[in-house]
Amino acid sequence: MTARIIDGKAIAARLRTGLAARVAMLGFRPGLRVVRVGEDPASVVYVRNKDRAAREVGFDSATIVLPEATSEAELLGVIAGLNADPAVDGILLQLPLPAQIHPERAILALDPAKDVDGLHPINAGLLAAGKPGLTPCTPKGVMHLLAEAGVPVSGARAIVLGRSVLVGRPMGALLLAADATVTMAHSRSRDLAAECRRADIVIAAVGRAGLVRGDWVAPGATVIDVGINRGADGKLTGDVAFAESAGHAGAITPVPGGVGPMTIACLLENTLEAALVRRGA
């Protein structure tokens, strides 16, 4: 068996095109502000890509760059200003933050209605309760990929490897809301290989290169690789041993070019949704 490749780049491009068409019909430009503290190399690249994508779909987008030495109080002041600015519909606080800033306090300071990363406890609670709210971008992107690839979720056995607040936990909630039977696995889980072999859908989000081997994948299963790991040669790899797993799976995402592009597209989708709700459009 040779797995069908789920092309996240193409799916994200279609989503962005649709968002641009919707924005063009509005009487305003949704406002997105990205806040970056310091010069973390990965964050610099991610933020630049997000800002470019936002401008391409017609948003009023800008990045606020604060020095590495910025205090927690100073950052909270910037967030308060953005919360109060009627032109700002979405705020993205780029993580990680410098050691002197507690990320939980910074996230809690965000207006939940503008929290387009979906990390505020109110948005997390709405998701857990199955109520409308802003959903973390990467799990939302995974659900788009499954839908676009025609993967049946209702009634399927799904396993999520990883229980992070950013990906694993909201991923499990979204799958459960779509009527999947969900197993949450993590570093303390016993016999991960056996758990994965029972699954119709495997979602790997642990940050360990090549963790999921080919013989962990049931014949015909769908494999979504959320992991991004940089090897000694500088190349990006996922949490899934791609070549091995592609020989068993029915469909699989590559790294890069799978989940990554969807994260940015869903950030834009969240910003548009936040703008429409805030402005009653």
- 100 annotated active-site: no
Give the residue carrying structure tokens 């790899």. 237
Annotated catalytic residue, options 50, 51, 115, 239: 50
- 9 annotated active-site: no
Distance CA 156, CA 96 (A): 34
- 215 annotated active-site: no
Q: What are phi and psi of 256, to 5 degrees?
A: -80, 180
Q: For residues 151 and 4, is the Cβ–Cβ distance under 8 A? A: no
Annotated catalytic residue, options 117, 200, 225, 239: 117
Neighbours of 179 (CB within 10 A): 12
Q: What are phi and psi of 4, to 5 degrees?
A: -75, 135
Distance CA 112, CA 136 (A): 12
Annotated catalytic residue, options 89, 94, 111, 225: 94
Q: What are phi and psi of 109, to 5 degrees?
A: -75, -15
- Which residues, in sequence order, are bridge partners of residue 203? 160, 224
Residues labelled as active-site residues: 50, 94, 117
